[in-house]
Amino acid sequence: MKKFIFSIWLSPHSLLILATLMWAGHANVLKVSIDELSPMLLMGLRWVGCLLILCFFLWSDVIEYIPSVKKRLTWVAMMGGIGMAGFTICLVVAAHSTSAINLGITQSFIPALVMIVGFVILGTSISKVQGFGLVLSLFGALILVSKGSTQAIVNLKFNSGDIIMLIGCFCYAGYTLGLTKRIEMPPTVMFVFFSFFASLTLSICIFIEFLAGDLILPGLRGAAIVLYCIIFPSILAQTFFMRGVELIGANRAGLYVNLVPVFTALLAVIFLSEQLFIFHVISLILVLSGIFITEKFKEKSEKKLS
């Protein structure tokens, strides 16, 4: 069992696929969470829960790395309070003023933003293979969120919600790139510090939600939803993603984000009894092909760039 777990920890592809699968599960759970508890409270409890659980198991490690965090406090605060929490907040707010198709398409831009922002700000190179893999997987994601209809894309109308979601995508692209400049410490310990600042940001949002009279406290079902969100899309998925970026870099790891809308649709078919269509299958094939091409020919591309 230990060998199996260790083999997964050494495999960026396994880690990133598991991370995107857990995030897709989170998207489906959010559908079930409607009226069970208010959105900001859900996200706030998610990050606070992560912080408390991880501190319980890793407190001695957290104390050990506090001096290192103090030296780069601004970076840590931005990664947790803006990168992780910012994307979550933008997703929740945008969902109230734009369509599901628009949300899906906008999130599909994250891998592209990772490459573009990395190229502009950090000078990260983009190989032809990476560019082709990106376009292919992005096209697959577009097919999914438009349900295979070009008319759905042509008839898109953009509003404030789309702009908010795009801001959220920049937050997560910045977070992904920021991981390449990480402090030398275990991903789980780093996630403790990120969770602390994410909790601070969401605490402010919960207070605003309370003042607006929109706060809904969770019942038993709501508590189960919170527990799922703490363990799987937060602690495990974020740790796996950080490890994946550490192993293969932001550009290649970011490409896996296009699996999220694909897995979301497939899980909805299995657990929410939604219907499976041919465009789901085509989308999955294209996204996986884009990732496969990037990984298969990465060595040749890297040799040309070196």
Q: Map 35-91 to HEC letters.
A: CCCCHHHHHHHHHHHHHHHHHHHHHHHHHHHHHHHHHCHHHHHHHHHHHHHHHHHHH
* SS3 label, residue 92: helix
CA-CA distances (angstroms) from residue 212 to 16, 161, 186, 207? Answer: 38, 19, 39, 9
Q: 84-131 pLDDT, tens per residue? A: 999 988 877 776 676 555 566 667 677 777 878 788 887 777 777 777
Question: 18: Cβ–Cβ under 8 A, 6 or more apart, which residues?
Answer: 8, 236, 237, 240
Question: Which of the four pLDDT bands, split at 50, 70 and 90, describes residue 41?
Answer: very high
Least confident of 11-20, 125-134, 295-304: 295-304
The closest alpha carbon to 182, from 238, 121, 242, belongs to 242
How many C-alpha atoms does 214 have within 13 Å on its Cβ side?
12
Task: Count Cβ atoms below 10 Å from residue 114 Cβ, excluding itself.
Answer: 29
Q: What percent of the chain has pLDDT over 90?
A: 36
- Phi and psi (nearest 5°) for 249? 90, 165
The helix (run of H) or strand (run of E) holding residue 259 is helix 259-271
